Amino acid sequence: MWGMDIHDENSLTIDCATCTAQNSPTCEDCVVTFLCLREPGDAVVIDLAEARALRVLTETGLAPPVRYRGISAR
């Protein structure tokens, strides 16, 4: 789902350090950047219900899609 890191069945992590759009113009319009404006290195963890809510908002056109794409593990 969106390239996010799902740690268990109840949560996922969005971490700017692993996003392929980090430091690009896309980053400036990212929901994570908008919501957090936090210290570098701090990940945003949302639970499964919140992830589903984001997906519903996107599918109904009420929010833009999450642009985060994780860097593949090597």
pLDDT tens, residue by residue, 34-71: 676 767 677 777 789 888 988 998 899 888 787 777 77
Q: Using DSSP, how many helices (H) and how many strands (E) does the chain show?
A: 3, 3
Q: Is the pLDDT of residue 7 over 50?
A: yes
pTM of the model: 0.42
Average pLDDT for 5-28:
75
User: Residues 16-20: what's their mean pLDDT?
Assistant: 83
Q: For residues 53 and 12, what is the distance between their CA atoms, to the nearest angstrom? A: 13
